[in-house]
Structure 1
Amino acid sequence: MSYIERAISNVVLTRAKTSKCLLLTGSRQVGKSTLLKHIFADYNRVTFDDKLTRLQAREEPRLFFLNNPRPLFIDEVQKENGILEEIKVIVDESEDRGQFIFSGSQKLELMKGMSESMAGRVAVMELGGLSLREINGIGFNQHFAPTDKYLADREKELKFYDNIWEIIHKGSYPELYDVERDWQDFYSSYVDTYLERDINELITADSITFLKFLTAVAARTGEILNYANIAGDVGVSEPTIKSWISILERTGIVYLLQPYSSSALSRAIKSPKIYFRDTGLACYLTRWLTADALKNSAVAGNMFETFVVSEILKSFSNEGIDYRFSIFYYRGKDRSASGENEIDLIIEENGMLYPVEIKMTGNPKANMAGTNQILDKIPDKKRGIGVILCLIDKKTYLRENLLALPISYI
């Protein structure tokens, strides 16, 4: 198996050199352990997937650290969060940097444990699946924001993607790119392993019901989250669906995109939109078994949008930036009483709001961005250039302040 160079590597190395500890989060199989073993090859390593190792860490922590001296990489650290109190004592007694490297697949549990025990001592980063840049060997590593500087820098290393639907369908898990692995076999095993190793530790539900739930959520990727609607499909209560959605978010399977909040947008919808992090997994669950079938399906638009949103999130996390405070969406009736208007993404940066539309078309029109002017109502913010990310083959100005961009610009 060949190692696929990850865009986040240099940022991880830098953060480890300047922090006492580093935590890398991300869903299972995105390559956390492979990355950390590669760039911290001289570290001792243990995994808390091993129950005997967890038992020793819990009951005999001094012996655990004698057997596993620093610098130490602890994989799946969320399975024994109690060890963090012991680690806090150790790192407080030394000024050394990079003493501990952690990885884990349950982000919110890890963040809670780290904030309670390790505040100010740990740098937290997130690894997603392979990005388009990584799949195509592109070294550019700036987060997507349609500024003049970004566009000029990105154009120095552009590559046209002629197989985009194959990649959307295949998904972003590294194993599918570094070995010849059957697509259906991989995702079948992934779902079984995910249910067995992660979900069963967090909820009490039979696997058939939970698989039905996963499928119902995958069918709604790119839509505004409606708990009652999903509950009706699955046949469980709405509070149960809320709990299960939270588990999917915590384990990195879905992302909840929050609406842009401003008192000036008084008629905006307040519910988040839900996106699967990996389009290959969403395709498997909803039984789109080939790229051609997906491309010509009724769900192609939502799957394309899901893919683009995921790529933009990766561009932030691969640069070590927390995107939660920068990326939103808007839907509401602030502009017109005749119906709802939407902006697929709003990227906020340095007091500017950049409206982004995501369209599965090779012939974008200026009226596709007709809602952008709603952002002019927001005080103390300026509207930046608008973008339509689509299947066009070159950068094209549709208006002076509106660009159509190929997705190769992400």
Structure 2
Amino acid sequence: MYIERTLEGFLKKAAGQFPVTLVTGPRQVGKTTILQHLSKDERTYVTLDDPTLATLAREEPSLFLQRFKPPVLIDEIQYAPELLPHIKMAVDKERKNGMFWLTGSQQFQLMQGVTESLAGRVGIVNLLGLSLKELQHHAGKAVPFLPTEKQLQDRLKISSSLSLQDIYRVIWRGSYPALALNDKADRDLFYRSYIQTYLQRDIRDLANVGDEGTFLKFLRATAARTGQLLNMSDMARDADVSVTTAKRWLSILEASGIIYLL
């Protein structure tokens, strides 16, 4: 089942304004799903989760782009940043909007390459999990929030009333589509698998974090402080790491969309 996303209209505008559109965000929030929905089978889809294709993209980027020509959707671009300069050359040669749609599940290395290679050529959109309006199928009516009396009244008119139990359930299960759209999905199993994938693929391979066990301890210390004032010394002490390491790891969590600092 596909749920309309609030960012659909913005994505269409970005695709009509820039040669490259990049959708970033945490894993499994629906980046590929929304782009495939909007493309309507009108562009080639290729994922760099495929080790063979990722190797081709890294070692022979020109050949890769000859094989997968625009309009194309390239999933998980962070696995082959070598493609970015070649995408720039392809864009500069043709300069046509909507040529490349890209997704990236983490930002701590990806964004540096994007800003260096695609400045002025790329529209960047950050997608998060399902909002309450999206879950209530009101995404098309969503507008930027302003704390005015009129807007609050308008929001009440289109919002479905939720019991306190329903609100706690939404908070407890989270906003990942795999859980939010499937009541039978095992929450604990999902998050255990998610953390394992996150540790193995994004942290170990891309962020060069050597001690996975200590990082997991730090992740738990961070989760325990949700909604609280940030105290780096306390977090570092609980995770048994230096404050410098805690700051670096916290920036990794923020860049990969696991946490949001308010």
TM-score by length of 2: 0.92
Structure-to-structure mapping, 1:247-262, within 5 angstroms: 247-257=252-262
| Alignment partner, residue 134 of structure 2 | 134
Measure the CA separation in 2 of the matches of 1:15 and 1:153: 28
2:194 is the counterpart of 1:195: no
Q: Give secondary structure in 2 for the equivalent of 1:92.
A: helix
Pairs within 5 Å for 1:309-388 = none
**Contact 1:3/1:178 (CA < 8 Å) preserved in 2?**
no
Paired with 2:238 and 2:228, the residues of 1 have a C-alpha distance of 15
The answer to whether 1:120 aligns with 2:120 is: yes
Residue of structure 2 aligned with 1:171, choices 174, 177, 180: 174
8 A Cα contact 2:28 2:176, kept in partner: yes
Distance in 1 (CA, whole Å) between partners of 2:209 and 2:118 is: 31
Partner of 1:33: 32
Give 1:206 deviation, angstroms. 3.2
| Cα distance between partner residues in 1 of 2:239 and 2:180 | 34
Residue 52 of structure 1, CA deviation: 2.2
Does structure 1 conserve the Cα–Cα contact (< 8 Å) formed by 2:22 and 2:101? yes
Gaps spanning 5+ residues in structure 1: where?
A: 258-410
Structure 2: which 5+ runs fail to align?
Answer: none
CA positional deviation for 1:196: 1.2
Structure 2 CA distance for aligned equivalents of residues 244 and 55 of structure 1: 28
Which letter maps to 1:37? Answer: Q
Name the counterpart of 1:66.
66
Secondary structure of 1:143's counterpart equals coil
Choose the corresponding residue for 1:242, options 247, 251, 255: 247
1:90 Cα shift? 0.7
Q: What is the distance in 1 between the residues matched to 2:54 and 2:119?
A: 23
Preserved CA contact (<8 Å) 1:25 1:124: yes
Specify the code of the residue in structure 1 equivalent to 2:198: Y
The Cα of 1:147 is off from its aligned counterpart by 2.7
Larger displacement relative to structure 2 (196-205 or 231-240)? 196-205
Shift, 1:46, TM fit: 1.5
SS of 2:103's equivalent? strand
Among all aligned residue pairs of Structure 1 and Structure 2, give the percentage whose two residues are the same amino acid.
45
Contact map agreement 2:178 2:185 (CA 8 A) in 1: yes
Quote how far apart the aligned CAs of 1:167 are.
0.5
For the residue of structure 2 that corresponds to 1:255, the secondary structure is coil
Matched to 1:13, the amino acid is K
Q: Is the 8 A contact 1:16 1:22 kept in 2?
A: yes
Q: What one-letter code is carried by the residue in structure 1 that aligns with 2:190?
A: F
Residue in 1 that maps onto 2:216: 211
Distance 1:37 1:206 in 2: 37
Higher Cα Rg: structure 1 or 2?
1
Q: Deviations over 1:57-80 (max 9, x none)?
A: 222222111211111111111222
